[in-house]
Amino acid sequence: MRLAGRVAIVTGGGKGIGAEYSAGLAAEGAKVVVADIDANGAKEVASKIRSDSGEAIAVSVDISDPHSTDEMAKAALSSFGRIDILVNNASLMSALPRRSWYEIPVDEWDQVMAVNLRGMFLCCLAVYPSMKEQGSGKIINISSGRILDGLPNRLHYTTSKAGVVGFTRALAREVGDDNICVNAISPGFTQSETQVKTSSAQYMKAHIDRRCFKREQYPADLVGTVIFLSSPESDFMTGQLLNVDGGYSMH
């Protein structure tokens, strides 16, 4: 119960890896705001947390819309009175076809940036006043292991996730005086429900073969790192990128 009394917002928390983050934070005692553009998915995850004796609410949010992110923060404050943790997990990736960079439509490029970078920025803006007032906070931004190797065929996604790291480091400098920690995680290729649907067996095997640990990576493999960065155990860490990929990349 390392997070007892803490309040966490998880964007994209209604499905896939985000649902695992939500459940994991709740299991450590956090009150969780499950925020997702998929309102039904968010409700299902929040309901499951409550059935497991945790505390959670569901919020429908479009992170690319400033009004929507402000309403998300207001819902957290209205229900739980504070915001201690923000996990910027929501992103646009699995729906993107793998194709050469010169085949990416400009509007698709803009959509990826609007969600993956603008959305993260807006979510941080929404929670910052509360964290500043209480003199503490944890912001955890989800990047991707793709940036360490420059994996091809989703150039817009890779570019946006590299931007997450720059954003994390610069924001950590700006909010350090407010005692807010800002860190990032770069997951490896993870067996989420969406990845399984859009990836071939050959593609998945290639990732496993290069890892030190010759097995698939699951969402549960990432939860411990999120909990650590949310907890007092990481209070003197900020501006850092933690790579969790079974030894695929050495960073």
Fold of 7-244: Rossmann fold (3.40.50)
pTM, two decimals, is: 0.94
pLDDT of 181 strictly over 80: yes
The domain spans of the chain are: 7-244
Contact 119, 64 (CB under 8 A): yes
Mean pLDDT score of the chain: 94
Instruction: Name the residues annotated as catalytic.
Output: 157
> What is residue 125's three-state secondary structure?
helix
Query: What pLDDT score does 94 carry?
Result: 79
Q: pLDDT-based confidence at 131, cuts 50/70/90?
A: very high
Average pLDDT over residues 176-192: 93
Q: Which of 97, 8, 37 is nearest to 16 (CA)?
A: 37
Using one digit for the tens of pLDDT, what is the confidence trace for 80-128?
999 999 999 999 887 888 899 999 999 999 999 999 999 999 999 999 9
What does residue 55 show for φ and ψ, rounded to 5 degrees? Answer: -120, 130
Distance CA 127, CA 118 (A): 15
Which amino acid is residue 68, in one-letter code? S
